[in-house]
Amino acid sequence: MPGAVLWERTLGPTPEHKRILPDGCMDILWDGRRLSVAGPDSTARLYASRADAFYVALRFSGGLGPALLGVSADELRDQTAALEDLWPSVQTRALTDQVAADSAAALQAWVAKRAASYQMDAFGPRVLKMAMAGTSVAAMADRLGVSCRQLHRRCLPIFGYGPRHLARVLRMGRALEETRWSTPLAQVAADCGYADQAHLSREVRALAGMTPTGLLQELRRS
């Protein structure tokens, strides 16, 4: 379904530490042992994977995860929780048994069934679209007919954080995507709405924990 992407990853014979960058998304993951839910990250975190690990997961774009999983995004911000701690045991066991038998097919079947039985509130997609466009918080609130405080409060369970932080995370994602084409950082900063290259560097350090140059080198090695 739109907004839910299946991904798989197999690791080698040595443990791996990977920097997970914030992107406003949530995941439901199967690691061959149990199902877990990764909440939205506000800043980068290092994730340690065991040797020979195998992951199958569904990634939900901003706002979709809480609706399908039935959890509040802000309760899982910067955390990964076992599904058994979030769902009733009967539901958890049923999905776990299905995923253990055929992980990718079971996750796809589950999300298709969930998508058919819920109706997405238009508030989240509207905020997401404006945040991606770089719309100011005041302008968002005005267009949605709410106060800035109400906007922030309503965004927490949907995205895990307020609209200002969501826009920062999404803007960094756009900037990193543009650097894949070897675009100079000064041009990236201008294209993505940063005041200048120094502003871009400060934001990347704040959200990713590294300078843009260091982060790009790390991403190219991974």
153-185, pLDDT tens digit by residue?
Answer: 999 999 999 999 999 999 999 999 999 888 999
Q: Check which CATH number belongs to the domain holding 176 and give it.
A: 1.10.10.60
pLDDT at 186: 96
**Tell me: the pLDDT tens digits for 119-160?**
778 899 999 999 999 999 999 999 999 999 999 999 999 999
Q: Are residues 15 and 60 in the same domain?
A: yes
Q: Is 13 helix (H, G, I), strand (E, B) or coil?
A: coil
Rounded to whole angstroms, the Cα distance separating 20 from 55 reads: 15
- Of 61-65, 103-107, 209-213, give the lowest mean pLDDT range: 61-65
**Tell me: the pLDDT tens digits for 71-109?**
999 999 999 999 999 999 999 999 999 999 999 999 999
pLDDT at 142: 98
Q: Strands 54-60 and 80-82, how do they pair? A: unpaired
Q: Which of 116, 131, 155 is the last residue of a domain?
A: 116
Q: Domain range spanning residue 172?
A: 123-221
Rounded to whole angstroms, the Cα distance separating 110 from 68 reads: 10
| pLDDT for 13 beyond 90 | no
Q: Which of 116, 145, 174 is the last residue of a domain?
A: 116
Cβ-Cβ contacts under 8 Å for 52 (sequence gap 6 or more): 11, 12, 13
